[in-house]
C-alpha cells in the first residue's frame, strides 16, 4: 500500500485545509494510506507524533476552516543537510515515500532539494548505522508534488495560488467598509496591502474597488509621481467624488528603487500648503486580516481539485518523472515542472531587488502572455 503524506509549509493561506482534506480523502479512496505532517518541515524533522495517520473523518468539516489545521512553521534545521537527513529517517520509519507539499516558493525549493538528495541521505543513514539496508531498500525514490499556497499569487507558471482570491476578497471587503466612512467625512484613505515583490493583490484590489491610485513593486513610479497622483485625485474630486482611496503594496517603490511608504502618500494628500491637496487623510494597514478567515469558494475549489490531481501525480510518477507542481492555467488543472516555476519566480524578485524594473516588468509580461 502506498503511503502518502501531506504537509503545509511557509506562510499559511486560506484554502490549505481544502488541500489537506482532498489529499487525505483521494489517497484513501484510491487505496493508499494517508498521513499528515504537522508544523511543516519542523514536524518532518521532529518525527514521532508530528507525523500522523489520517482517516476519512479526521478531515471532516475542514473545507470551511481558515488557516491550516495541521499547522505550519519556519524550520531552520531543514535548510541544513543534517536536518534533512533526520527528516528522511523519520519518513522511512513511518514508511512514507511520497510527499505532497502546499507552500510558497521557499517550501517548494526545500522540497526539490530534499528529493534530489534523497538517495544520498539514505546511503549516509545506512553508513552511520541509523537505518539498515533492508529498512531503506523499499524507499529508493522520494516522490514529491507541490501545490502553491500563498496569498500573494506570486508563483510563476500558475494563474492563481491557493489563498490569493480569499485575500483579495478580504481586502475588497475592508475597502468597502473604509469607503463608507471616507465618503461620509469626505476623507482620503491610504490602504497598505501585502506584496513585497508581487503587486497582484494591490493591482486587483485597485481594479475591484475602483481605487483612485495604486502603487505596486513591478511598476515603479517616475520621480514626479507626486504630481501625477495629485492631478488624478484633484480631477476625481472635481468630478464630485467625496472619497479618495489609494492602495499601496508593501513593496511599492519609485524608479530609483526608493520605497514609497503609506506615510509618503498621506503627507502628499494631507499637505495643507497652497500646492497641496489638503485632504483629511488616514492610513489603514490591513495586515493579517488579509491572511486569516475562511477561504472563498474559489480557493476551496482550487485546493480540492489540485489536491486530487496531486495524488494522481504521485501515483503515476516513475523514477524518471521530473518533480512537478499542480498549476491552474486558463481554468485547467495541470502538472508543470516545479523548479522552472520557482526559478522564474526568483528571477522577478531578484530583478525588483536589483532595481532592474524593466527586466522585472518584461518577465511578468512574458508570464502573462504565456
Ligand atoms: P511564503 O514565503 O509564501 O510564506 P515559503 O514557502 O516561501 O512561503 P519560506 O519561509 O521561504 O516560506 O520556507 C518555509 C520553510 O521551507 C523554511 O522554514 C525551510 O524549512 C524550508 N525551506 C525554504 N527554502 C529552503 C531551501 N532553500 N532549502 C531547504 N529548505 C528550505
| CA 11 / ligand 1 centre spacing (Å) | 9
pLDDT in tens, 317-328: 988 888 999 999
Cα four-point dihedral sign 327, 329, 335, 337 = negative
CB distance 186 to 242 below 8 Å: yes
Does ligand 1 come within 6 angstroms of the Cβ of 230?
A: no
CB distance 13 to 161 below 8 Å: yes
Spatial separation of the C-alpha atoms in residues 107 and 47, rounded to whole Å: 18
- In this structure, which residue's CA is closest to atom 14 in ligand 1? 10
Query: Residue 300 gets which letter from DSSP?
Result: H
CB distance 180 to 131 below 8 Å: no
**Residue-level pLDDT at 370:** 46
Nearest atom in ligand 1 to 151's CA: 3
The percent of residues above 70 in pLDDT, for the chain, comes to 98
- Whether the pLDDT of residue 81 is over 90: the answer is yes
Torsion of CA 103, 59, 298, 206, to 10 degrees: -50
Which residues have CB under 8 Å from 212's CB, separation 6+?
232, 233, 236, 241, 244, 245, 246
pLDDT in tens, 101-140: 999 989 999 999 999 999 999 999 999 999 999 999 999 8
- The verdict on whether 152 is a catalytic residue reads yes
Torsion of CA 245, 249, 250, 252, to 10 degrees: -100
- In this structure, which residue's CA is closest to atom 12 in ligand 1? 10
- Whether the pLDDT of residue 24 is over 90: the answer is yes
- Which cell goes with 191? 490602504
- In this structure, which residue's CA is closest to atom 31 in ligand 1? 110
Query: Residue 140 gets which letter from DSSP?
Result: -
Nearest atom in ligand 1 to 154's CA: 3
- In this structure, which residue's CA is closest to atom 20 in ligand 1? 75
Chain centre to alpha carbon of residue 20: 16
* Beta-carbon count within 10 A of 113 CB: 15
Which candidate, 130, 52, 53, 49, places its Cα nearest to that of 85?
130
Does ligand 1 come within 6 angstroms of the Cβ of 104?
A: yes
Spatial separation of the C-alpha atoms in residues 252 and 24, rounded to whole Å: 40
Spatial separation of the C-alpha atoms in residues 316 and 274, rounded to whole Å: 69
pTM of the model: 0.93
For residue 243, CA distances in Å to 178, 201, 274, 278 come to: 10, 21, 21, 13
Amino acid at each position: 500500500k502506498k503511503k502518502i503524506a501531506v504537509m503545509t509549509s511557509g506562510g499559511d493561506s486560506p484554502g490549505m485545509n481544502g488541500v489537506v482534506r482532498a489529499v487525505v480523502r483521494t489517497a484513501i479512496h484510491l487505496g493508499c494510506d494517508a498521513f499528515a505532517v504537522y508544523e511543516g518541515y519542523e514536524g518532518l524533522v521532529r518525527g514521532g507524533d508530528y507525523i500522523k495517520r489520517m482517516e476519512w473523518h479526521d478531515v471532516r468539516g475542514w473545507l470551511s476552516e481558515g488557516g491550516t489545521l495541521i499547522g505550519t512553521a519556519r524550520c531552520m534545521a531543514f535548510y541544513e543537510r543534517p536536518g534533512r537527513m533526520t527528516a528522511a529517517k523519520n519518513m522511512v520509519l513511518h514508511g512514507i515515500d511520497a510527499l505532497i507539499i502546499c507552500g510558497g516558493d521557499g517550501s517548494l525549493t526545500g522540497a526539490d532539494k530534499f528529493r534530489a538528495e534523497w538517495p544520498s541521505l539514505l546511503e549516509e543513514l545506512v553508513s552511520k548505522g541509523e537505518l539498515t539496508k533492508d529498512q531503506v531498500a523499499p524507499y529508493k525514490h522520494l516522490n514529491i508534488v507541490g501545490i502553491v499556497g500563498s496569498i500573494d499569487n506570486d508563483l510563476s507558471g500558475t494563474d492563481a495560488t491557493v489563498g490569493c482570491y480569499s485575500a483579495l476578497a478580504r481586502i475588497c471587503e475592508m475597502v468597502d467598509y473604509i469607503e463608507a466612512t471616507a465618503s461620509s467625512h469626505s476623507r482620503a484613505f491610504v490602504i497598505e496591502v501585502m506584496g513585497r515583490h508581487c503587486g497582484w493583490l494591490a493591482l486587483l484590489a485597485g481594479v475591484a474597488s475602483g481605487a483612485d491610485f495604486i502603487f505596486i513593486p513591478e511598476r515603479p513610479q517616475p520621480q514626479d509621481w507626486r504630481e501625477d497622483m495629485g492631478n488624478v485625485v484633484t480631477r476625481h474630486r472635481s468630478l464630485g467624488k467625496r472619497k479618495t482611496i489609494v492602495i499601496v503594496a508593501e513593496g511599492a517603490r519609485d524608479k530609483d528603487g526608493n520605497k514609497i511608504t503609506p506615510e509618503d502618500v498621506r503627507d502628499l494628500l494631507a499637505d495643507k500648503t497652497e500646492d497641496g491637496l489638503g485632504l483629511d487623510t488616514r492610513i489603514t494597514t490591513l495586515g493579517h486580516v488579509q491572511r486569516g478567515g475562511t477561504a472563498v469558494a474559489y480557493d476551496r475549489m482550487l485546493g480540492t481539485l489540485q489536491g486530487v490531481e496531486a495524488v494522481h501525480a504521485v501515483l503515476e510518477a516513475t523514477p524518471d518523472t521530473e518533480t512537478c507542481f499542480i498549476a491552474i492555467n486558463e481554468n485547467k488543472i495541470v502538472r508543470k515542472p516545479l523548479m522552472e516555476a520557482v526559478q522564474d519566480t526568483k528571477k522577478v524578485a531578484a530583478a525588483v531587488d536589483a532595481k532592474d524594473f524593466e527586466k522585472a516588468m518584461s518577465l511578468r509580461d512574458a508570464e502573462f502572455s504565456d
